[in-house]
A = this chain, B = another copy of it.
Amino acid sequence: MHIGLIGLGKMGFNMRERLREKGIEVTGFDRNPDLTDVSTLDELVEALPAPRIVWVMVPAGQITDGVVKDLSEVLSEGDLVIDGGNSKFTDDQIHATLLAQKGIRFLDCGVSGGVWGLANGYGLMAGGSHADVELAMPVFDALRPEGDRAESFVHVGDVGAGHYAKMVHNGIEYGLMQSYAEGYELLEAKDIVKDVHGTFAAWQKGTVVRSWLLDLLVKALQEDPGLSKIAGYVEDSGEGRWTVEEAIANSVPAPAITAALFARFTSRQDDSPSMKMVAALRNQFGGHAVKPAQSNPE
């Protein structure tokens, strides 16, 4: 099998490696001339056997929109586009409809595993038709860990369902990380706990909280004891927000995941307008002293 792969960043680059290791021929395309295998999209299309399979692995939103639009102009009836990025599930139907006008097929596929996927394989969640999933199965099988397919690949439903599952996966991920992080902060705060790193390390085997994220947490504490080199500043990339929006849209209470999202928002604030207001109110009714703004250097 020979496929095209557009986007050779942190994820796409590794995926090209893994696919090739597993015997899939890959022609990669990226704007970075040091990474790309071909110079133009046209070259990419020419290099591929029909029906062409093109895996798109670029940032969600406008960039993915642009790539899908470009592909709708250069691909042919019966070709298949797979969006493996973190697109919002609502974008998938738009992309599928655009491509379908030319008879081009579309799958969305959530991909989890991060930088470790190259070695470990990726967890995959696909959305689209049964026939399109079957066509791409050799690619999925090469990307996912070896062993039982059901443990690393799922055909979640029609177009959009794959990215929806990936979105929820990331929402859960927010909650898991927040939970470990709260426990970490409490262990750090309590003086009777003399070995925080050792405690997390000892949870790796046998305990109820053992997980891959815990293993990474132990690794992080090993590399930077006390996390002294790192600021408590956390970005969010969209999927956590969408998860909470979907929770709201579906009347699903999601307090832990939402707490994780809000904690990230707070982490990025130099000063909190809402906490200024609470301080101002306490001063108003109780004459409680406030901390003047100038003591907060920026």
Chain A positions within 8 Å of B, measured between CB atoms, are 10, 89, 112-117, 120-125, 127, 144-145, 147-148, 150-158, 160-161, 164-165, 168-169, 171-190, 192-195, 198-199, 201-214, 216-217, 219-221, 224, 227-235, 241, 243-269, 271-288, 290-293, 295-297
Contacts and interface: CB of A to CB of B under 8 A. Distances in A.
8 contacts: A156-B195, A161-B193, A168-B186, A182-B256, A186-B250, A209-B213, A230-B280, A266-B275
A287 to B, nearest CB: 5
Given A113-B207, A122-B206, A230 B177 contact: no
Contacts of A267: 272, 275, 278-279
Closest 6 CB pairs of A and B: A175-B179, A211-B211, A232-B275, A123-B207, A154-B202, A255-B259
Given A186-B168, A208-B212, A199 B281 contact: no
Contacts of A285: 114-116, 208, 213, 216
A144 B127 CA distance: 42
Contact of A208 (B112, B193, B277, B283): B112
Looking at chain A's contact residues, is the secondary structure mostly helix, strand, loop, or mixed?
Answer: helix
Contacts of A189: 250-252, 273
Q: How many copies does the complex hold?
A: 4
A231 to B, nearest CB: 4
A272 B95 CA distance: 35
A282 to B, nearest CB: 7
A235 B286 CA distance: 12
Contact of A172 (B161, B183, B190): B183
B183 A168 contact: yes
Nearest to A236: B251
Given A220-B277, A274-B181, A206 B121 contact: yes
